[in-house]
């Protein structure tokens, strides 16, 4: 596909009020000093098709500014271009304009945003259809690659550049081909176990990192254990064992002696327990006898007091209910009197006519006699219906009041009878309580010591108390002190003997850690060997790819991997011009490198488009390229000068 620009028109675009450039599909030079609008031509072309400027920025200002750098309102910002696509003309037009609205009640218009309109061959079209048409001609990324010499190196990541170069190289080099190409990759192929190289590389790196982390911790742990070792001491462990045996025998003798003492103490405890039981039995007997005496009066008194409380509560409730019922009757009687008055008022209501009711509201003329009589009759009917309805409501409410008065009157009579009966019962209970209290006072206080069963139990208790008072108390203080002293000596010896065990365990643990450190070092060395194999594999693959890719270019070469100081390989995609990295060459060589890349890409995709070369003055002669070239040349011209070649 061959794409050329025939014509480009700008209107109020980035300060350019009105400009038309007739390229006629030919190579064109655009001359002018800085800030005269050379790059604006390229910006307009990119904005027309992709909403971006020549630097691939979407957020840039296309409006014309005044002297204070403020946008000039009410302007239409427009770009139109006619392309020749494989000999066929097609015109694209795009316009950005402000939206202003005048809201209700306001005199001034308000800014309400922007709108963009699109045309293809002068036919208005929606944005979606406009973009789909452009994409059907040439995809955006491809257009940028073959029109801007700097886009490949300045606007694409190294991974994107690398992927594109591999696609255009036409070379299919699989990992399997490289693994089978050399016997040195046999171990690597076996270790992959179905994984790809990248995944396996991550696995190896993660394992090395994990093992190194684990290995770094071991010396610290060894130092910590070494610091706990006792390097100098004069402890005779055999002598300590002999002392421990002697102390254990002495402790055993003390335990035997304490057993005999405990047997005597146990016998004394039995006697003391018997005394305690006897005291408790005497106490229980005293309590039981008093309860039996008190029960005679307390149960009957409790029953009478409970009945008294119940009757008093019932009497209060009935009196309260009586008051509420009487109050309700009095209130309903007043309501009945009010209803009688309302009945009389409704019954005596007379009809009064409004003179305006007999006048036409439209023409203000008085109605005819028949019409007046008809209106009066209607008013009378409405009044009678209202009076009848209101009387029924009053009757209904009066019947409800009569029913409540009747119910409350019956309840009042019932409550008066119940109050009288309850009052009589309460008087009877109060009399019984008073009689029982007099009888209790007449009998006098209860003397338990006069009872035979109490005297018998008291003598048994005094006999046991005499036996317990004659017991000899055992003093175990001295033997307990001897036992504690010997136990302390044994514990001290055990502590010293345990140090020997701890020292041996610590030494064994240090040896285990040293062995583990050696094993980890061997595993890390093995994994680093596998990592080196991966690097060799990557280097081989990249060299093959570099040769396949670089054969497609005349000026530039590409480096797809970089060797680090430690010898490791890092994937990259650097453009070289005569062996110098693209970022380090001058502007002229950057343009030459970009044109060489465009030439190869145009050939691969079988598509050419206009190439915009900014700062063209830095190059004396361009390479031959089968595409329309638009050169932006810095000169001393104060206005743009167009030269069609």
Domain ranges of the chain: 3-138+607-644, 261-456
Give the strand pairing for 611-614 and 629-634. Answer: parallel
Pairing of strands 123-125, 556-563: unpaired
| Mean pLDDT value across residues 306-327 | 88
pLDDT 10s digits, 81-90: 999 999 999 9
Cα 627 from Cα 606, distance rounded (Å): 11
Residue predicted with more confidence, 549 or 353: 549
pLDDT band at 449 (very low <50, low <70, confident <90, very high): low
Identify the band that residue 289 occupies on the pLDDT scale cut at 50, 70 and 90. low
> For residues 88 and 6, is the Cβ–Cβ distance under 8 A?
no
Please say whether the dihedral angle defined by the alpha carbons of residues 595, 601, 604 and 609, taken in this order, is positive or negative. negative
What local confidence, expressed as pLDDT, does residue 593 receive? Answer: 92
Identify the pLDDT of residue 59.
81
Torsion angle in degrees (nearest 10) through CA of 169, 175, 177, 178: 90
Q: Across residues 189-197, what is the average pLDDT? A: 79
Q: According to the model, what pLDDT value does residue 23 have?
A: 93
pLDDT at 159: 92
Q: How far apart are CA 267 and CA 454, in angstroms?
A: 29
Q: Quick one: pLDDT at residue 51?
A: 87
**pLDDT tens for each residue of 496-513:** 777 777 777 888 888 888
The rounded distance, in Å, linking the Cα atoms of 114 and 371 is: 67
Q: What is the pLDDT of residue 372?
A: 76
What pLDDT was estimated at residue 340? 86
Alpha-carbon separation of residue 33 from 19, 76, 633 (angstroms): 16, 27, 8
Greater confidence (586 vs 274) lies with 586
Q: Is 239 exposed, middle or buried (0-12, 13-18, 19+ CB in 10 A)?
A: exposed
CA distance 630 to 150: 14
Q: Quote the pLDDT of residue 197.
A: 79
Beta-carbon contacts of 302 under 8 Å, excluding residues fewer than 6 positions away, are none
The answer on pLDDT for 263 being more than 80 is: no
For the segment 420-447, the average pLDDT, to the nearest whole number, is: 79
Specify the pLDDT at position 429: 86
pLDDT at 448: 65
Q: Is the pLDDT of residue 437 over 70?
A: yes
Confidence grade of residue 103 (pLDDT, cut at 50, 70, 90): confident
Q: Would you place residue 477 in the very low, low, confident or very high pLDDT band (cuts 50, 70, 90)?
A: confident
Query: Mean pLDDT over all residues of the chain?
Result: 83
Residue 566 has pLDDT above 80, yes or no: no
Confidence band for 450, pLDDT divided at 50, 70 and 90: low
Instruction: Tell me the two tokens of residue 148.
Output: 């801007």
Q: What CA–CA distances, in Å, run from 261 to 194, 268, 476?
A: 82, 11, 8
Backbone angles phi, psi at 582, to 5 degrees: -55, -40
Task: Give the Cα separation of 147 and 140 in Å (integer).
Answer: 11
Rg, C-alpha atoms of the chain: 59
Q: Which pLDDT belongs to residue 86? A: 93
459 against 296, higher pLDDT:
459
| Average pLDDT over every residue of 436-440 | 75
Across 51-55, 154-158, 372-376, the highest mean pLDDT is recorded for: 154-158
pLDDT above 90 covers what percent of the chain? 23
Asked if residues 50 and 140 have their Cβ atoms less than 8 Å apart, the reply is: yes
CA 607 to CA 137: how far, in whole Å? Answer: 10
Give the whole-angstrom CA distance, residue 105 versus residue 329: 67
**What is the average pLDDT across 204-230?**
86
Highest mean pLDDT among 202-206, 309-313, 388-392, 596-600 belongs to 596-600
Which position has the higher pLDDT, 25 or 267? 25
Residue 308: predicted pLDDT:
83
Q: What is the structure's pLDDT at 146?
A: 92
Q: How confident is the model at residue 471 (pLDDT cuts 50, 70, 90)?
A: low
* Domain covering 3-138+607-644 assigned CATH 3.30.420 in the classification: no
| CB contact set of 435 (below 8 Å; sequence gap of 6+) | none
Asked if the model's pLDDT at residue 389 lies above 80, the reply is yes
- With contact defined as beta carbons under 8 Å apart, do 26 and 643 qualify? no
pLDDT at 266: 62
Choice between 42 and 350, residue whose per-residue pLDDT is larger: 42
Task: Return the number of other C-beta atoms located less than 10 Å from residue 275's C-beta.
Answer: 18
Determine the pLDDT at residue 37.
86
Q: Among candidates 615, 577, 614, 612, which has minimal Cα distance to 596? A: 577
Q: Is the pLDDT of residue 223 over 90?
A: no
What's the pLDDT at 74? Answer: 82
Average pLDDT over residues 520-526: 88
Residue 204 in this model has a pLDDT that exceeds 80: yes
Quote the pLDDT of residue 438.
78
pLDDT greater than 60 at residue 232: no
Q: What is the pLDDT of residue 176?
A: 80
Among 268-277, 351-360, 559-568, 627-636, which is the least confidently predicted range? 268-277
| pLDDT bracket for residue 36 (50, 70, 90) | confident
Tell me, what's the pLDDT at 9?
95
Give Cα separations from 546 to 543, 560, 580 (angstroms). Answer: 5, 7, 16
pTM, 2 dp: 0.50
Bridge partner residues of 581 (DSSP): 576
Name the band, by pLDDT with cuts 50, 70 and 90, for residue 301: confident
Question: What pLDDT does 231 receive?
Answer: 59
pLDDT band (50, 70, 90) for residue 129? very high
Q: What is the pLDDT of residues 576-629, one digit of tens each?
A: 999 899 999 999 999 999 999 999 999 999 999 999 998 888 887 888 888 999
Band of residue 80 on the pLDDT scale cut at 50, 70, 90: very high
> What pLDDT score does 265 carry?
60
Residue 11, pLDDT > 90, answer: yes
Place of tokens 């005999």: 260
Token digits of residue 124:
């208005």
């Amino acid at each position: 596909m061959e794409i050329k620009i025939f014509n480009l028109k700008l209107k109020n675009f980035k300060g350019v009020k009105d400009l038309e450039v007739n390229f006629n599909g030919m190579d064109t030079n655009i001359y002018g000093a800085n800030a005269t609008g050379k790059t604006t031509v390229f910006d307009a072309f990119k904005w027309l098709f992709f909403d971006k400027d020549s630097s691939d920025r979407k957020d840039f200002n296309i409006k014309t500014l005044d002297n204070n750098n403020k946008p000039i309102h009410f302007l239409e910002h427009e770009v139109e271009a006619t392309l020749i696509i494989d000999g066929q003309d097609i015109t694209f037009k795009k316009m950005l304009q402000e939206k202003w609205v005048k809201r209700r009640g306001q005199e001034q218009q308000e800014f309400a945003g922007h709108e963009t309109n699109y045309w293809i061959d002068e036919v208005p079209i929606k944005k979606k259809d406009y973009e789909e048409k452009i994409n059907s001609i040439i995809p955006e990324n491809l257009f940028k690659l073959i029109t801007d010499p700097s886009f490949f190196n300045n606007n694409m990541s190294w991974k994107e550049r690398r992927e594109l170069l591999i696609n255009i190289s036409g070379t299919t080099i699989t990992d399997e081909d490289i693994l089978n190409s050399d016997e040195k990759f046999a171990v690597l192929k076996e270790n992959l176990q179905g994984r790809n190289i990248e995944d396996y590389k991550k696995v190896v790196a993660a394992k090395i990192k994990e093992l190194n982390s684990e290995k770094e911790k071991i010396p610290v742990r060894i130092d910590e254990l070494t610091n706990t070792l006792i390097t100098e001491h004069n402890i005779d462990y055999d002598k300590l064992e002999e002392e421990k045996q002697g102390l254990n025998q002495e402790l055993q003798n003390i335990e035997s002696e304490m057993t005999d003492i405990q047997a005597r103490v146990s016998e004394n405890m039995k006697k003391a327990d018997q005394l305690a039981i006897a005291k408790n039995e005497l106490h229980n007997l005293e309590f039981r006898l008093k309860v039996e005496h008190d029960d005679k009066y307390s149960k009957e008194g409790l029953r009478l007091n409970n009945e008294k409380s119940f009757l008093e509560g019932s009497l209060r409730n009935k009196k309260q209910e009586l008051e509420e019922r009487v109050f309700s009757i009095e209130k309903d009687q007043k309501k009945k009197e009010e209803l009688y008055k309302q009945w009389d008022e409704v019954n005596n209501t007379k009809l009064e006519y409004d003179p305006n009711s007999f006048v036409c509201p439209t023409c203000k003329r008085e109605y005819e006699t028949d019409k007046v009589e008809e209106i009066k009759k209607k008013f009378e009917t409405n009044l009678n219906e209202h009076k009848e309805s209101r009387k029924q409501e009053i009757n209904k409410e009066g019947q409800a009041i009569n029913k409540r008065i009747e119910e409350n009157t019956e309840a009042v009579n019932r409550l008066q009878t119940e109050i009288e009966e309850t009052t009589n019962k309460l008087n009877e209970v109060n009399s019984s309580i008073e009689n029982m209290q007099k009888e209790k006072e007449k009998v006098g206080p209860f003397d338990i010591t006069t009872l035979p069963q109490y005297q018998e139990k008291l003598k048994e208790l005094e006999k046991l108390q005499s036996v317990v008072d004659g017991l000899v108390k055992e003093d175990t203080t001295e033997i307990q002190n001897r036992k504690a002293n010997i136990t302390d000596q044994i514990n001290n010896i055990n502590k010293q003997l345990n140090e020997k065990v701890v020292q041996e365990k610590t030494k064994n643990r240090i040896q285990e850690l040293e062995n583990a450190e050696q094993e980890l070092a061997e595993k890390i060395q093995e994994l680093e060997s596998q990592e080196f194999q991966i690097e060799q594999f990557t280097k081989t693959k990249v060299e093959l790819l570099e040769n396949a890719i670089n054969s497609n270019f005349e000026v530039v070469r590409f480096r797809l991997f970089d060797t680090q100081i430690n010898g490791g390989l890092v994937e990259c995609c650097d453009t070289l011009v005569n062996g110098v990295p693209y970022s380090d060459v001058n502007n002229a060589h950057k343009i030459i490198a970009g044109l060489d890349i465009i030439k190869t890409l145009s050939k691969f995709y079988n598509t050419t488009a206009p190439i915009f070369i900014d700062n063209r003055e830095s190059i004396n002669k361009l390479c031959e390229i089968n595409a329309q070239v638009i050169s932006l040349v810095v000169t001393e011209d104060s206005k743009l000068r167009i030269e069609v070649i």
